[in-house]
């Protein structure tokens, strides 16, 4: 199945089952959350005309170029009186422009005369160096739509708008389980045939960055009865996310349990890494079974599970940025599946980790992004390729 088709099905399923519950959080706790309602401007921005410079405010109407006495000083955070006719006001950046003034001249372009008057050395234009009221935003305008994920910039903007509280979607509850009899947790000694469980830590920390509440189920043995029991115990979550045990091998207990206890779609994705993917439902709860190989887990989580979760929160913007860059490598043999290569940018060229098959998380830790090589494609150095920054996927 092509990636787009799998993604489309997942996004449709996500849109049909949104996490609708909301809560109110303080602005300080808004990071990583998703807006449940649009954020409106509670005033014009700027709320009044203000000076863009340290200088002198005056009225150009009826002014013939003569030097003007200073009638008031206007600092940021003060409310000036109207400008007295035939005078100018000393004014500082961000301070409200007095009524009657239509122009600010920067202090570098004036000469202070011995009698205290200000002589303007350059021609003046009405409106210059004044930021008009409502220039950025009008009262009532929706500045951030519902479904926006809140990062530092959005939180800064919400603060600009004066919102101390935000209405956000409830955090998705995701149960994470790692299947495999061979798995052992880090910190313990490895027995024969055992490996450390890397997916658990990878997924849990990633989900937390995405604003999810994680229910850490730990390791699930390759056993049908235990698999059923585990799925039944996870009925209070929004998603069960598992890794491993989804190849159609003999230890495919997740698929078996879903086949009996709910719905099952098994997809052979035309991507590399990351071929087998399970999507289904056990009793009430959607289940996403990612392949167990950590590189496959990484890629399928980034390209499928992440957008699925974001769409359940009502995010419209779920597709990662794909930058056009030049290949810094040759790709002489076309593949039958789309490849996602761990890559770095050197200048404007993407170079790939020398060994794409092994040391999988090591190559991803080295990488800054994934280069997408379409199926049936060969590449020469300098050809255009798509680069998906990992920073984009991880946040
Ligand atoms: P499976 O889909 O269960 O056949 O797993 C595919 C490969 O990924 C096997 O080599 C597993 O040992 C490995 N694998 C599965 N789960 C994990 C995990 N949580 N951490 C590290 N490797 C894993
Ligand atoms: Mg397994």
Ligand 1 atom having least distance to the Cα of 245 = 3
Residue nearest to atom 14 of ligand 1 (CA): 292
- Looking at the domain that runs over 24-38+142-169, which CATH code has it been given? 3.90.105.10
- Structure-block tokens of residue 387: 């680069």
Residues of the chain with CATH 2.170.190.11: 50-131
Please check whether residue 287 is in contact with residue 281, taking contact to mean a CB–CB distance below 8 angstroms.
yes
Residue 192: band (very low, low, confident or very high) from pLDDT cuts 50, 70, 90: very high
Strands 349-352 and 323-327: parallel
Q: Is the model's pTM score more than 0.75? A: yes
- Report the pLDDT averaged over residues 140-149: 97
C-alpha 296/C-alpha 275 separation (Å) is: 7
**Which ligand is nearest the CA of 293, by number?**
1
Domain 323-394 has CATH 2.40.340.10: yes
Residue 357: band (very low, low, confident or very high) from pLDDT cuts 50, 70, 90: confident
With a pLDDT cut of 70, the percent of the chain lying above it is: 98
- 94-142: pLDDT as tens digits: 999 999 999 999 999 999 999 999 999 999 999 999 999 999 999 999 9
What pLDDT score does 358 carry? 60
- 174-186: pLDDT as tens digits: 999 999 999 999 9
Residue nearest to atom 1 of ligand 1 (CA): 244
Average pLDDT, the chain: 95
Instruction: Report the residue among 244, 253, 298 best suited for mutation to probe ligand 1: largest number of ligand atoms under 8 A from its CB.
Output: 244
Q: How close is the Cα of 234 to the center of ligand 1, in Å?
A: 22
Residue nearest to atom 10 of ligand 1 (CA): 293
CA–CA distance from 49 to each of 24, 58, 348 (Å)? 33, 13, 43
**Which ligand is nearest the CA of 300, by number?**
1
What pLDDT score does 291 carry? 92
Residues of the chain with CATH 2.40.340.10: 323-394
With a pLDDT cut of 90, the percent of the chain lying above it is: 91
- Report the pLDDT averaged over residues 319-346: 96
**Which ligand is nearest the CA of 183, by number?**
1
Instruction: Report the residue among 206, 219, 293, 357 best suited for mutation to probe ligand 1: largest number of ligand atoms under 8 A from its CB.
Output: 293
Residues of the chain with CATH 3.40.980.10: 3-20+171-312
Q: How close is the Cα of 72 to the center of ligand 2, in Å?
A: 78
Has residue 144 got a pLDDT over 80? Answer: yes
- 249-291: pLDDT as tens digits: 666 899 889 988 888 888 899 999 988 899 999 999 999 999 9
What pLDDT score does 395 carry? 85
The 3-state DSSP composition of the chain as helix, strand, coil percent (nearest 5) reads: 25, 30, 45
Ligand 1 atom having least distance to the Cα of 200 = 19
Strands 195-196 and 183-184: parallel
- Domain 50-131 fold is Molybdopterin biosynthesis moeA protein; domain 3 (2.170.190)
Q: How close is the Cα of 272 to the center of ligand 1, in Å?
A: 16
What pLDDT score does 248 carry? 59
Q: How close is the Cα of 252 to the center of ligand 1, in Å?
A: 12
Residues with CB under 6 A from ligand 1: 178-180, 182-183, 195, 197-200, 243-247, 249, 291-294
- 22-51: pLDDT as tens digits: 999 999 999 999 999 999 999 999 999 999
- Structure-block tokens of residue 310: 């974001």
- Name residues with Cβ closer than 5 Å to ligand 2, which is an ion: 180, 244-245
Has residue 298 got a pLDDT over 90? Answer: yes
Ligand 1 atom having least distance to the Cα of 219 = 19
Q: How close is the Cα of 249 to the center of ligand 2, in Å?
A: 9
Task: Scan for tokens 């798509």, then name that residue.
Answer: 386
- Looking at the domain that runs over 3-20+171-312, which CATH code has it been given? 3.40.980.10
Residue 394: band (very low, low, confident or very high) from pLDDT cuts 50, 70, 90: very high
Strands 239-243 and 262-268: unpaired
Q: Is the peptide bond before 317 cis (omega within 30 degrees of 0)?
A: no
**Which ligand is nearest the CA of 221, by number?**
2
Q: At a CB cut-off of 8 Å and minimum separation 6, what does 365 contact? A: none
């Amino acid at each position: 199945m092509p990636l787009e088709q799998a993604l489309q099905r997942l996004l449709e399923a996500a849109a049909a089952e949104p996490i609708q519950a909301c809560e109110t959080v303080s602005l300080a706790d808004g990071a990583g959350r998703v807006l449940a309602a649009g954020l409106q401007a509670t005033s014009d921005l700027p709320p009044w005309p203000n000076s863009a410079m340290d200088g002198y405010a005056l009225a150009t109407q009826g002014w013939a170029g003569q030097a003007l006495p200073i009638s008031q000083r206007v600092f940021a955070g003060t409310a000036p009186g109207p400008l007295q006719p035939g005078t100018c006001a000393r004014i500082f950046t961000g301070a409200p422009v007095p009524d009657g003034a239509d122009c600010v001249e920067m202090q570098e372009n004036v000469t202070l005369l011995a009698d205290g008057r200000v002589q303007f050395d350059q021609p003046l234009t009405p409106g210059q160096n004044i930021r008009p009221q409502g220039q950025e935003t009008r009262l009532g305008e929706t500045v951030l739509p519902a479904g926006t994920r809140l990062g530092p910039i959005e939180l800064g903007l919400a603060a600009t708008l004066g919102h101390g509280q935000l209405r956000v979607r409830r955090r998705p509850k995701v149960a994470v389980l790692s299947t495999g009899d061979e798995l052992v947790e880090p910190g313990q000694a490895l027995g024969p045939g055992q490996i450390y469980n890397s997916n658990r830590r990878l997924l849990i920390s990633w989900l937390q960055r995405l604003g999810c509440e994680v229910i850490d189920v730990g390791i699930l043995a390759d056993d049908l009865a235990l698999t059923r029991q585990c799925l039944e115990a996870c009925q209070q979550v929004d998603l069960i996310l598992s890794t491993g045990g989804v190849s159609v091998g003999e230890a495919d207990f997740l698929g078996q349990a879903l086949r009996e206890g709910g719905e099952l779609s098994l997809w052979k994705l035309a991507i590399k890494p990351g071929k087998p993917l399970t999507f289904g439902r056990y009793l009430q709860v959607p289940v996403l079974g990612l392949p167990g190989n950590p590189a496959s887990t990484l890629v399928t989580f980034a390209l499928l599970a992440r957008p699925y979760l974001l769409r359940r929160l009502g995010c419209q913007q779920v597709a990662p940025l794909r930058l056009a860059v030049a290949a810094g490598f040759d790709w002489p043999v076309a593949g039958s599946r789309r490849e996602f290569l761990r890559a770095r940018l050197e200048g404007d060229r993407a170079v790939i980790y020398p060994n794409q098959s092994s040391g999988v998380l090591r190559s991803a830790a080295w990488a800054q992004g994934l280069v997408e090589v379409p199926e049936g494609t060969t590449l020469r150095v300098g050809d255009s390729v798509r680069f998906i920054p990992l920073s984009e996927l991880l946040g």
